[in-house]
Amino acid sequence: MPADRPFRFAVQAFSASSAAEWRDLARRVEDLGYSALHLADHFLGPGPALEATAHPLQELAAVPAMAMAAEATTRLRIGCRVFCVDYRQPVMLAKEAATLDLLSDGRLELGLGAGWLAGEYEAAGIRFDPAPERIARLGEVARAVKAFCSGQPLELDGPNVRWQGFRGAPLPVQRPHPPILIGGGSRKVLELAAREAQIVSLNFNNRAGVIGPDGVRSATAAATDRKLAWIRDAAGPRFPELELEIGAYFTFIGEATAAIAEGLAGAFGLSPDEMQRHPHGLFGPASAVGEELERRRERTGVSYVTVGADVAEAFAPVVKQLAGR
């Protein structure tokens, strides 16, 4: 188990009201000691389609926002948790990724996902295939991106990627390719991540196609232990090389957080103890949260934690305490 890997921390942001605000956020995240700034890959604007998904509004498109964040900073890594491979042509995704890595001097973390937000697909007229088909396509695209970054002649003739007669250009700075992050909550996608990715992201099983209690209950401590076993078995001898990441979506830093955890437990159909121990939740003073993360790393190997932009300042003492340790 990669339990001795140093801690890294990232911030995930969805919105900014101006270029100045986005630049300021990127610089502040870097100054606070975070390793990376991530976006997600959702495009629905306000309206009933977005409301039906229960997903927060993402105002910014990932690629230009990542490029601006890289330009505004010097060390901060840029990423997307995660690019949905159904939302753009694979060859354009590969070229944009290689370009981002080149122009950021090798600071890209390339998150790839199979897509899950059914209402977003429907609203944009994109076919929402069954999960096994989407996951198989994700694997094909991940392998194609690696081939694009290799600089070798491309002769791919798969179900979804048919490239021939050219080489990938530009080549990324990071060799053989930028680190690939793949994650999810189902066995199939986590086994794929274990085989293809450098960073495996533990997440909800979003089989319901919306954000809600089913997803939260699919990611309890007991459920996460099962996911880790799937990853370990599928990775085989490469398991110690993997970096394990998780999104701490329920992060509340302070003295009076027990009542918040209890309220969330009731909303999601969990016990207060299950909510306090939920791998995607962190509750309590910064010092206690830091100690809890160390315990979790020792038990699970998770060393990479992403928090929301709304708690980046409050969580910063944890980053200062643990980053790089």
22 occurs within a structural domain:
yes
Q: What is the pLDDT of residues 13-33, one digit of tens each?
A: 989 999 999 999 999 999 999
3 occurs within a structural domain:
no
Residue 98: predicted pLDDT: 98
296 occurs within a structural domain:
yes
Residue 260: predicted pLDDT: 95
Q: What is the pLDDT of residues 120-174, one digit of tens each?
A: 999 999 999 999 999 999 999 999 999 999 999 999 999 999 999 999 999 999 9
Q: Looking at the predicted structure, is the pLDDT value of residue 1 above 60?
A: no
> What total number of domains does the chain contain?
1
274 occurs within a structural domain:
yes
Q: What is the pLDDT of residues 53-62, one digit of tens each?
A: 888 899 999 9
Q: What is the mean pLDDT of the chain?
A: 94
pLDDT bracket for residue 205 (50, 70, 90): confident
Q: What is the pLDDT of residues 209-257, one digit of tens each?
A: 566 788 888 889 999 999 999 999 999 999 999 999 999 999 999 998 9
Residue 218: predicted pLDDT: 86
Domain boundaries, position 80: 8-322
237 occurs within a structural domain:
yes
State the alpha helices, DSSP H only, in 151-220: 187-196, 213-217
290: domain CATH number?
3.20.20.30
How many CB atoms are closer than 10 A to CB 127? 9
Distances in Å between the alpha carbon of 6 and those of 3, 62, 298, 302, 325?
9, 27, 11, 10, 5
